[in-house]
Amino acid sequence: MRTLHPIAKEAQSSTSSIHGIHRRDFIKLAAGAAVAGAVWKPMETRAATKLEPLQRGIKVSLQISGNASDEDLQFAQQLGVGYVNIPTGGDKSTLENFIQLKQKVEAAGLKVWNIGNSNVHNMPEVTLNLPGRDQKIEEYKSYLRNLSKAGVFYTTYAHMGNGIWSSEKENTRGGAPARAFDMARNPKGYWSGKVFEGPLTHGRRYTKEELWENYTYFIKQVVPVAEETGMRIGIHPDDPPVPELGGVPRCIFGNFDGYLRALEIANSPNIGVCLCAGTWMEGGKHTGKDVFEAARAFAKMDKLWKIHFRNVSGPIPHFVETFVDNGYTDMYKLMKTLYEADFCGAVIADHVPGMVGGARTGWAYSIGYIKALLAAVSAGKG
C-alpha cells in the first residue's frame, strides 16, 4: 500500500477576502448585479494556499431540481435539512445561474453544499484520452472558477470512461421500481444521454497504465485551480466498481488502494472523496475495504467531504438499489462510524426507489431515516 504525502491541515481565516472585498460582500454584489440584469465581470479570486475548515458536525442535505423551484425549497424546509445539492448541465452551468441559484436557496434560509455540472462530471475525453480532452479540461477548470466566484467551494467529480452501468430496473420492497445491475442481463453504460454497450464500448481494450496516465494528466492541471480557488473536489467511486466494463478498467476509483494512489498523485489538500456508500457496497470484496473501514480511513485523512447515504441488496454481480433500511448493510452502524470519525461533510439521500405518492415520497422517506439515525447516534443510543 502506498503512503500518502503529508496533508496540510492548517485553516484559512474565515475572514478571507477577494482583492480586499470580504467574500460575503462580494457574493451580495455579484448576486445583485445578476438579478438586475447587469453585465457582471467578476474579479479573479485570490490564490488560496490553505483550505477553510468545515464547520463541525454532519450536515444533512437534499438533492433538488436544477431549477430550484419555490416548491423544491419548501420541501427542503419541511424536511428540516440545512443544505441542498443542485445538479445543472447544458447551458445552465453558467456563473450567472450559479449565483442566482445560491441567492434563491439562501433567501429560503438554506445553504448550498454544491452545484453540479453534468457537462464535466463524467468525461470520456479525459478518462480515455479521446479527441477534445484539453478542451474538456479547460471547461472543467472554468467551472471550478465560476463555482468559487459564486461562493460555492465543494464539488463532486466522477472519472468514469463509459458511464454508470445498469440492467433493466427491478422491483424492491412493496413493488418499488429501482435501478439494478445484473451481469447476466446485458448491462449497459449510461451518461448524459449517451449509451455505452459492450463488449468494447470504444472499439478496443484499454490498459490500466493508460487510465493512470490519463488521470495524472488531468489532475495535475486541475489541482492548481482547485488550490487557487479554495475548492474541495470529492471524487465519486466508479459505479459499479466492476474491475473492467466494456474494455475499460475501473482500477482507479473502483477500490481503496486505487484511491490512495490517486490522492497521492494529486498531492493536494483540495482533492478528496465523495463516498457513495451504495456504490462502495456494490463493489463488495473488489473495493479492498468495507464501507465502514473506507469511511474511517478517508475521514482520518481529512479527505471525506460528502456521503451518498444509500443501501443495496448485495454486491456484484447482481444488486438492486433498495430502500435505505432494506439492504445488506447496517446503516445505523455507518452513521455511527461517520459520527465517531468526526465527519464534517454532507450526507445526502441518493438513487431512492420509486414510491406511490409521487417523486418526493421516496426522498422524504430516506431523509427522515437519515435524520433519525443521526439523532440516535448523536444522543448516544445503541
Mean residue pLDDT of the chain comes to: 89
* Residue pointed to by grid coordinates 442535505: 61
- In percent, the amount of the chain with pLDDT more than 70 equals 87
Q: What value does the mean pLDDT take over residues 20-34? A: 40
- Name the band, by pLDDT with cuts 50, 70 and 90, for residue 381: low
Q: Which residues contact 266 (CB under 8 A, 6 or more apart)?
A: 219, 223
Check if CATH label 3.20.20.150 holds for domain 47-378: yes
The 10s digit of each residue's pLDDT in 153-204 is 999 999 999 999 999 999 999 999 999 999 999 999 999 899 999 899 999 9
- The answer to whether residue 382 scores a pLDDT higher than 50 is yes
Please tell me the total number of residues recorded for the chain in this structure.
382
Q: Residue 369 in contact with residue 324, Cβ under 8 Å?
A: yes
- Name the band, by pLDDT with cuts 50, 70 and 90, for residue 39: very low
C-alpha torsion angle, residues 37, 41, 46, 52 (rounded to 10): 20
Provide the pLDDT for residue 341.
97
Provide the pLDDT for residue 226.
98
Give the DSSP per-residue string, 86-151: E---GGG-SHHHHHHHHHHHHHTT-EEEEE--GGGTS-HHHHTT-TTHHHHHHHHHHHHHHHHHTT
| Cell output for 303 | 479527505
From residue 246, alpha-carbon distances to 33, 41, 189, 204, 250 in Å are: 47, 44, 9, 9, 10
State the DSSP code for 286: G
Question: Could you give the CA distance from residue 189 to residue 179 in angstroms, rounded to a whole number?
Answer: 13
The 10s digit of each residue's pLDDT in 237-287 is 999 999 999 999 999 999 999 999 999 999 999 999 999 999 999 999 999
What spatial distance separates the first Cα and last Cα of the chain, rounded to whole Å?
35
State the DSSP code for 238: P
- Give the residue extent of every domain in the chain: 47-378
- The answer to whether residue 5 scores a pLDDT higher than 50 is no
The 10s digit of each residue's pLDDT in 77-119 is 999 999 999 999 999 999 999 999 999 999 999 999 999 999 9
The 10s digit of each residue's pLDDT in 332-373 is 999 999 999 999 999 999 999 999 999 999 999 999 999 999
Bridge partner residues of 166 (DSSP) = 188
Question: Could you give the CA distance from residue 280 to residue 312 in angstroms, rounded to a whole number?
Answer: 10
- The answer to whether residue 42 scores a pLDDT higher than 80 is no
Angle at alpha carbon of residue 308, lines to 307 and 312, rounded to 5°: 130
